[in-house]
Structure 1
Amino acid sequence: MSWHFLERWVEKANQHSTLVGKFWITFLIVCRMVIVASVGDRVYNDEQSEFKCNTQQPGCTNVCFNSFSPISHLRFWSFQILFVATPSVMFVVYSAHKTKLKKTSSKKARISNDEDDDKSEKHVSGHPRNIQVNSRNEKSKKVSDFRDEKFKPTNPLAMKAHIPAFAQHFRWYLANVFVRLCIEVGFLVLQVLLFGFYVPEMYKCERRPCPNTVDCFISRPMEKTIFLWFMFLYSCICVALNLVEFVYLVYAYI
């Protein structure tokens, strides 16, 4: 399975991420996409063909394999990567849309301001009352700036989070991290429920049309067990990174 298209979108999300978010993206691309795409295909390419049962009953082996492995480890992790990366891709689309709108509105405002400035310079330049008004405005601006400076948060992210133009963008990113965290936890629990923590060497099958209890043998059980633990460990790390980033963002926003 080719992951290049998804990688490009996730790398775009890296531009909007915090430091912890950048670590998460690194783990997603390097330790998940690359490993599943390169190593996983070699480990699981003979998964069904090498699943052997000691019976000649037609259909028994297929039924037993379906019972033993409702979904392949590799396909499960592929779905996990797709679902986990989806919130980040949606956030990139939202950011690109907002950036385009902002550029358009800024261009229109700049043209409008230039026209207004030209008109005002012709009519009110050098008027004594206008000079007094400007002086009062400058004084009130200095007082307002002093108050803002006095009560301004020291955390740069917290400062940005309370700027109206940035606040909505910040909330969307916070929602993106929260959804990502929930998906990571959900797939982590689902992996434990579906596969457990080891792949057995032999599986006893009692499903029809098998005539009796049939012994089935799995290919590369130890290698698949190590792979299972490896992906479980990286899922735990990704959950921890998402949790740390979410707490940091909430703390910065509050």
Structure 2
Amino acid sequence: MNWGVFEGLLSGVNKYSTAFGRIWLSLVFIFRLLVYVVAAERVWSDDHKDFDCNTRQPGCTNVCYDHFFPVSHIRLWALQLILVTCPSLLVIMHVAYRKAKEQRHRSAGGDDRHCMYPNPGKKRGGLWWTYLLSLVFKAGVDVVFLYIFYRFYRNYTLPRLVKCELPPCPNVVDCFISRPTEKSIFTLFMVVITCVCIVLSLIEATYLIGKRCHECLQASSGDSCRHSQDGALSHAEPADTGGTDALEPPGNPSPYPLP
């Protein structure tokens, strides 16, 4: 894996994220990706090799292992990490599209031409929707994978002993899982971190929506204040003009002679 390219992608995501997004990115990188690469792969490296059943019937062990482990934890976590980080890359691609469009706009009209995107990374317009939808998608992916893990492995734990009676097993056989306690601890740890990431994504989405509503309310209140001031000035000017005409009507000279 090229860590330089990955570091560049992370720095780009971190640059255009909010404070909650930076915390989410740190959790994903440290507590999910590094734990997956450094520890989890080694823990599950012997899951098939050390899955023992008390039978010598050919094919029985493979069938029982496939029944109790339809998809490995490692492969599910890898797919989850890929899907949960793709929306952040879409935000970077949207910013890059804005920068390229702004560059073409300037090259066509010169530097004196009005800028289309003075700050391409500012979350306004389409970029705001892209960022918000990315948060919803990330939270949705984590929720779906939590449900998948729960369906495959009840209570997110692994039993020490499983009984299998699938053909070609001759009868009910006992199968033993390798290091079930350690694997259960890692599974629960990843589940807790996933729940924290879901909460952070929802908080960030709520923050974005609340901030946008606050800005809209401020803009609408500012417009209403300007309209009320303009209306007051327009009503005050005719009143002053009428008062001056009443004091000094035309054609009526002053009774006092000028010096």
TM (normalized to structure 1)?
0.75
Counterpart for residue 119 of structure 2: none
Q: CA deviation at 1:6?
A: 4.9
Query: Relative to structure 1, is the Cα distance of residues 13 and 113 closer, same or farther in structure 2, using a 3 angstrom cutoff?
Result: closer
Counterpart for residue 221 of structure 1: 180
Aligned residues: 204
**Any unmatched runs of 5+ in structure 1?**
115-159
Amino acid at match of 1:210: C
Q: How does 1:95-106 map to 2 (within 5 A)?
A: 95-106=95-106
Q: Is the 8 A contact 2:52 2:175 kept in 1?
A: yes
Q: CA deviation at 1:54?
A: 0.3
Which of 215, 233, 242 is the aligned partner of 2:192? 233
**Distance in 2 (alpha carbons) for counterparts of 1:113 and 1:6:** 36
Q: Is the 8 A contact 1:10 1:88 kept in 2?
A: no
Amino acid at match of 2:37: A
Partner SS, residue 223 of structure 1: helix
Q: CA deviation at 1:29?
A: 0.9
Per-residue deviation, residues 58-111 of structure 1 (Å, max 9, x unmatched): 000000000010011111111110010111112211211211111221343334
The structure having more radius of gyration, on CA atoms, is: 2
Amino acid at match of 1:80: Q
Q: CA deviation at 1:112?
A: 6.0
**Distance in 2 (alpha carbons) for counterparts of 1:50 and 1:229:** 22
1:78 aligns with 2:37: no
Query: Relative to structure 1, is the Cα distance of residues 3 and 177 closer, same or farther in structure 2, using a 3 angstrom cutoff?
Result: farther
Counterpart for residue 169 of structure 1: 127
Counterpart for residue 46 of structure 1: 46
Greater share of helix residues, 1 or 2? 1
Amino acid at match of 2:62: N
**Any unmatched runs of 5+ in structure 2?**
115-121, 214-259
Q: Is the 8 A contact 2:50 2:178 kept in 1?
A: yes
Counterpart for residue 144 of structure 1: none
Instruction: Specify which structure has the bigger relative contact order, considering alpha-carbon pairs within 8 angstroms and separated by 6 or more residues.
Output: 1
Fraction of identical pairs, as percent: 33
**Distance in 2 (alpha carbons) for counterparts of 1:70 and 1:168:** 41
Which of 140, 145, 160 is the aligned partner of 1:187? 145
Counterpart for residue 109 of structure 2: 109
Query: Relative to structure 1, is the Cα distance of residues 104 and 207 closer, same or farther in structure 2, using a 3 angstrom cutoff?
Result: same
**Distance in 1 (alpha carbons) for counterparts of 2:84 and 2:2:** 14
Q: Is the 8 A contact 2:106 2:113 kept in 1?
A: no
Counterpart for residue 14 of structure 1: 14
Query: Relative to structure 1, is the Cα distance of residues 8 and 195 closer, same or farther in structure 2, using a 3 angstrom cutoff?
Result: farther
Q: How does 1:146-165 map to 2 (within 5 A)?
A: none
